[in-house]
Each structure stands twice: as C-alpha cells, then as structure tokens.
Homo-oligomer: A and B are copies of this chain.
Amino acid sequence: MIKTAVVGSTGYVGEELVRILCAHPQAGISYITSHSNAGQRYSEVYQSFNGLLADVCIEENIEELAGKVDVIFIALPHGIACKKINKSILDKVKVIDLGADFRIKNKETYEQWYKTEHEAPELLEEAVYGLCAWKRDKIREARLIANPGCYTTCSILSLMPLVKDGLICTESVIIDAKSGITGAGKALSPGTHFTECNESIKAYKIASHRHTPEIEQELSEFALKDIKLTFTPNLIPIQRGILATCYAKLLDKSLKYEDIREIYLKYYKGEYFIRIMQKDVYPETRWVRNSNFFDVGFKVDDRTGNVIVIGAIDNLVSGAAGQAVQNMNIMFGLEEKTGLKTVPVCL
C-alpha cells in the first residue's frame, strides 16, 4: 500500500483527493492536513465521510510528512507550495502539486501572470507537467509533478492532436470554456453566493485567466513554435464539469470530419480515459461527471474553414484529483486506472 498525505485536504480539490484515495485499493491516506480545520475530524467538515474516515485534520508540516509517507499531494493556493518544497524534501518523498507553482516553466511568465515572485525557480526544470496522456514517460521518473489545471487539461487534450500534426493556423485559436462552480473553490465570494450565480451565465477574466499561459506553453511545445491564443472562461450554475469549445482555422480546407477523427484516433486510441464521440454526437459534461474521462467531439465548418473541437471533463476529477491519482499510479508503477474506474454518474 502506498502511504499518502493530503496537504490542504479540506478545499474542494482536497476533498476529491480524499474521496478518491479512500476507495483506492493500493493506496491509503496516512495524514490529512488543513490549516483552517486543524484539530477537527474530517467528517465534521464533510459529513459525507461519516463512518468512513475517522481522521482528524492536522496542521501541515511537509518537512515532517516527507519522512513518513511515500507521496504528498499538495492542494493549496498558488504561491505556497513553492515555498515549502525543495530538493531535500524531494530526496525523501514524491510530491504531486495540484496548484500552479510548478506548471509554468518560465519563471518570468509565472510571475507576470501570477503577480508574485516564484520562490523555487530551481525546481522548475525538474518538475514534470503531469498531463498523463502526453507526458507518461517523464511522469514515470518524476519526483515532482505539476498537476495540470482544470481548464488546461480540457483545452490541451482537445487541441493537441491538431497542433501536433500542424493542421491548424496557430494564430487563430480561440477557446471558450464553461465551468461548473466547484471550479471557483470553497472560498466564499459574492460571485459564488448561490443567489448571485444561480440562474445566470457570465464570462470572467476574459483574455486574462491564468490558465492561458499554461495552455500556450504545452501547445507551443508540441507545435514547435510559439502559440498565443484567446481564452475565455465562463461560470455556469452547475456543480461540476468543464466544456471547452475550441475554434481554429484549418490550414487545409479540404479536411473532412473523418480525417480529423483519424488524427484523434492516432493519438488517443489506447487511452482508457479519452473517449472520442461518434459523428454528430457531442460531449456533454454529464457524460463524464464524477469520472476521470475526457470526452471529445468535433465538427468541420465547411462554410468558414473552421474546425470546432469540444472537450468535456469533470473539473474536480480529470481536471484535478483524478489526474493527480493517475499521476501517482504512473509514478508508482501501478496500472493507470487503479482506483479511477468509476462509471460516470450521468443522473
């Protein structure tokens, strides 16, 4: 059994980690930490764990945890993990960081978008961007995983095959993404107060959301050239789910649906967690709810020469805790889908 610690266990991503790990057949939770709920039973914070988890939240001490467990999951706001992690810790324990601190390879880009100094630039090279479908080999050897963001996972998986094969005009990429409100986290704010976000739709952080450089970085790596794109996130009054609608000009206007499909099959055929929809069927977030799946569908708009690729994930699972556990499975040599075989809960 792999011994795990979950740091920041009472945030929403933390809760999903705890929920998934509770049911993992080859890993166990040894420690759960929470600054705001230290001293409280986890099941008092989330009554759903009544009778299932008797643990009490402790204050986080990564130094100490490093000697006691095999892997530490960190689910903290950005800017904290990079203060806590260093090479001596990585000598003792594997770390999967679900925050943003190690995702952006370029220190300046990070600081520009996150408006804060990066305190562990020396780890940026070592950190592996944990997008399982595309970075499996590096993940296997990694000591430090930068678990991808939710919008980013969905956006990159949607566009990567087209980018990798050089089929789209990289100046034309637009992503209009819609997210359920768990994506905004547990912190109270007027914009996530029920009565102010229910029964309404809104875009936010238009062309300025921090997941933008992360998507650009990964797509650029595979495009072998610098990509800049426009990214618009929207909040939708549902619990979970991201739908990323990606638009790009096809370089070859003669490409048909079937051609595009072939390319996605080429890259994704063996991927258990990636499902390519049938023709004229499009992802809906309910089909992946509560699961680690990424569903993708596409349409060629002959009239305009655009291809529209639509991807869907559960933001808390494939977009956070699920992919983190998948990363752990890869790092520890387990079958990738161990503990992640949940059938999506469509109702």
Contact = CB atoms under 8 A, between A and B. Distances in A.
Given A178-B234, A245-B176, A306-B174, A23 B202 contact: no
Contacts of A272: 51
Interface in A179-201: 180-182, 184, 186, 188-190, 192-201
A171 B247 CA distance: 13
Contacts of A19: 343, 345
A303 interface: yes
A311 to B, nearest CB: 11
A290 interface: yes
Contact of A304 (B192, B229, B247, B284): B229
A237 interface: yes
A203 B247 contact: no
Interface of A: 12, 15-16, 19, 22-23, 46-52, 171-172, 174, 176, 178, 180-182, 184, 186, 188-190, 192-204, 206-207, 228-230, 232, 234, 236-241, 243, 245, 247, 272, 275, 277, 281-291, 293, 295, 299, 301, 303-304, 306, 308, 310, 312, 316, 341-347
A200 B286 contact: yes
Complex copy number for this chain: 4
Nearest to A345: B290
18 contacts: A12-B195, A46-B346, A48-B286, A48-B289, A176-B232, A181-B195, A184-B195, A186-B193, A193-B194, A194-B197, A194-B198, A198-B238, A199-B241, A200-B241, A201-B284, A203-B282, A228-B304, A247-B247
A285 B203 CA distance: 10
Contacts of A197: 194
